[in-house]
A and B are shown apart, each in its own frame.
Chain A
């Protein structure tokens, strides 16, 4: 049962990746000509044509796509038009930074967000509940580039306890991770609060209390576990998002992640880099969703039975 469940999911994952790569390929190729951005000055039409030919850009798009997929399966994502470095090397240089940043921001957001949500739910209607709700809403409306700059001004420029930008240690990671984590933290806190309130009002909690279980046991073993369930899907999406859309945070902190790379590649029509990044980000999403599905199946037997 579990094995066919996993195989089915994997098959769908492969289909999704193929679809994503095809769409990116088509959209990329219809959005502009990289050759025009590469050549400079006096290049003649013939020279541009030669270059287009040497890059394989003069062949039918579908044929180019077929070649691309064939090579990608073997791990060859092509060579960047602009920097002439293999795309797989560019990604392998930048992806660890993205994962480090997203990993730190995500864990902080999930743990703190859930804790704050639960605290708010348990203190429903009191001052602390209002404070947490206010924090969770404001964290979602403050733009990342502004928050990042304010944090830098305070911690790096005025108090000088943290560096302005860079990478390579906890002190470099803190500010960008906080900036990236806050909006997610806010969303998680709100979801956790709502989920916890639903659960607390349900029959089995009353039963648990009636059985004479300690309040601590009721909250930890019965309530929190069930309140976590709806959070898992949202959390998975948030994690995927953090890798792909950290562009603003990466820009403000000069963090060498994949988000900045993909945006620059789009602006320069460096298709193969865009293609490679999108593929890797999509694979990340698929992997996360798969993990969430498996976790669900583990935590909630009803999913397996279906």
Chain B
């Protein structure tokens, strides 16, 4: 004990230490065109680089490196670029950098590893003058601005003279922070860019730290060693309320559901009445109250607010009706159903077991099946499931992107639905620039998903974090951490 007493205590008591953000995993790459997950990779990339357009937490498009834009025809968009922006090596940002970056995203391996390129439907970038650029798409695209928010601009001179392995660890952007160091598996250190076009961010030194264990993140928050403990769970979030910190939560945008395989050998699932029955058999409200501690709301649509059709209610708990629907479909005696889950979206096991209980109660014989994530992921992309599978979908606000999950042959369509009428609605919505007409198409598609019960609808995946009393920051529901918007307290 005497020995311990003379040791210096942890760094938590140093008021000048960097702001520390603790997350489960490490960034996967610092190449902005290889962005694969919103956090932590996305959060760090958003700090180092700028895109033409910024997406705010409500999904609204705001100016960033572009100050304004207009659509010239169905396929051509003109962007007016911000003047006087400098990259972190002092070189000036111009239209040439935009063209170079767009061309780079369209090359292998960038166009294969991320879905950015195909989703933008971009064909080419044309430099009009130093501060004006036209982007041309293959087909009309209402989601262009959405995807451009993740299309980061790199300086042509630097990225064309260094190889991809080098720039992967030595990024150079125009963003609010610059890289100090990246120690894979441990931390990324950033420091404020004093020359940022929008003014240097309020927090000077920022550390993204890998702290895999949730109890460790909470303990470190309690002692004041970290400032933002991310990826907490429903049952642990409460522990973030300490004298130095408090819990913050957001309803979140990821739609938690059970996918219903149409390809597997459980043929009952191809009958819409059976799928409706499963939705009526489950008491989602009670599950939210108990398993999720009341921190979220029931899911009614595959599309997030504000675009969700308000006339669609969540399925209600009506076990008697579920039995009737099963009987009408010829399954009065029930059927065998596999319930697949994997530790990815939190509380997978608890949720799956509870759902199994509800389905058993209406006569469905359930079999729980747990997969390691990489096997689960393979089954998702191969449409390789039998039965139903616990999943989360699309933490974003962009109806045409959210609706693609049920379109024929689409990679994310893990259930294997294939309905030409639904596909037609989604494709027309993605190409319809008229707001009113697009809204109608989107509502019609949502209605199909609800009526025919393409999912077992659960809830919006809540986002939990703990924040220290040193900083002020408002959590985004899509997991990105825009640390340059955080402010020191007092």
Contact = CB atoms under 8 A, between A and B. Distances in A.
Contacts, number: 150
Nearest to B115: A41
A261 B411 contact: no
A293 B361 CA distance: 64
A99 interface: no
Contacts of B209: 254
Contacts of B28: 82-83
B175 to A, nearest CB: 20
B307 interface: no
A241 interface: no
A135 B366 CA distance: 46
A256 B113 contact: no
A163 B12 contact: yes
Contacts of A36: 374, 377-378, 381
Contacts of A93: 183-186
Contacts of A261: 185
Contacts of B108: 47, 50-51, 54
B112 A43 contact: yes
Interface residues on A, range: 35 or more
A84 B212 contact: no
Given A32-B375, A165-B220, A170 B168 contact: no
A282 B83 CA distance: 57
Contacts of A82: 28
B213 A164 contact: no
A165 B219 CA distance: 9
B168 A267 contact: no
Interface in A128-177: 145, 149, 152-153, 155-157, 160-167, 170-171, 174
A32 B183 contact: no
B306 to A, nearest CB: 24
Nearest to A169: B8
B112 A157 contact: no
B4 A51 contact: no
Interface string B214-240: 011001101101000000000000000
B112 A51 contact: yes
Interface residues of B, number: 55
B113 A40 contact: yes
Given A85-B184, A269-B374, A171 B8 contact: yes
A187 to B, nearest CB: 25
A164 B226 CA distance: 10
Interface in A75-127: 79, 82-86, 90, 93-94
B223 A160 contact: yes
B210 interface: yes
A171 B113 contact: no
Contacts of A62: none
Nearest to A254: B211
Contacts of A50: 108, 112
Contact of A156 (B5, B219, B377, B378): B219
A206 to B, nearest CB: 41
Interface string B348-384: 0000000000000000000000001111011001000
Most B Cβ at <10 Å: residue of A51, A171, A254, A261? A254
A42 interface: yes
A197 to B, nearest CB: 32
B119 to A, nearest CB: 7
Nearest to A89: B184
Contact of B374 (A40, A43, A86, A267): A267
Given A90-B185, A171-B10, A251 B212 contact: yes
A157 B222 contact: yes
Contact of B114 (A41, A174, A251): A41
Interface string B465-486: 0000000000000000000000
Interface in B26-48: 26, 28-29, 31, 34, 36
A82 B11 CA distance: 32
A162 B10 contact: yes
Given A94-B185, A254-B210, A43 B7 contact: no
Given A41-B412, A165-B219, 18 more contacts: A37-B377, A43-B112, A43-B113, A43-B411, A50-B108, A51-B109, A90-B184, A149-B215, A156-B219, A157-B223, A161-B7, A165-B220, A165-B225, A166-B11, A167-B186, A171-B10, A252-B215, A254-B213
20 contacts: A37-B374, A41-B411, A41-B412, A47-B111, A84-B165, A93-B184, A145-B213, A149-B215, A149-B219, A156-B219, A162-B7, A163-B223, A163-B225, A164-B219, A165-B216, A165-B219, A171-B9, A254-B209, A254-B210, A267-B373
Give the top 3 A-B pairs by smallest Cβ distance, nearest first.
Answer: A41-B115, A163-B10, A256-B186
